[in-house]
Structure 1
Amino acid sequence: MRKKLALIVAGVLVAGGGTVASLIGSSASAATTLKVVEHSVTDTVIDIGKPGDSRGDQLTFRNQVYDATDTTVAG
């Protein structure tokens, strides 16, 4: 009987601790919107399967990303 009670108490403590931790860790903050411009100069289409656009095709790229004014490299 003591083992059963100890397991129940332990389960309640774990569940309660998880609830408290999730409430503490989920403080909401205002949304942030980032606006960037990509210069698509290195796009490469890999046609897999049926010719033309089809499931499985891939688009690879490595392009500069600029700020919203399209003047400063952002990433």
Structure 2
Amino acid sequence: MAGDETVIGGGRFDTGRDGYAEMGTYARQWPNRGWAIEGCQGIGRHIANRLLADGEQVVEALGLFLESKASENGVVS
């Protein structure tokens, strides 16, 4: 997703070594990338930890989603 929230890419990748490598290859086209992972402390923990170990920037997606929705509704935190 770009700064203006335009979706610029996406995909579904297997959870094994080959799928992770395929995802990394696909993502390299964006050198200034970051990852928004839902459930970094739950179901998304495995992928978040793998990305972090590879030096990638990772944030919790749900928090970003809720913040965006609050902003759309005029809620200020």
TM-score normalized by structure 1? 0.20
Higher helix share: 2
Highest Rg: 1 or 2? Answer: 1
Higher strand share: 1
- Structure showing greater relative contact order (alpha-carbon pairs closer than 8 Å, 6 or more residues apart): 1
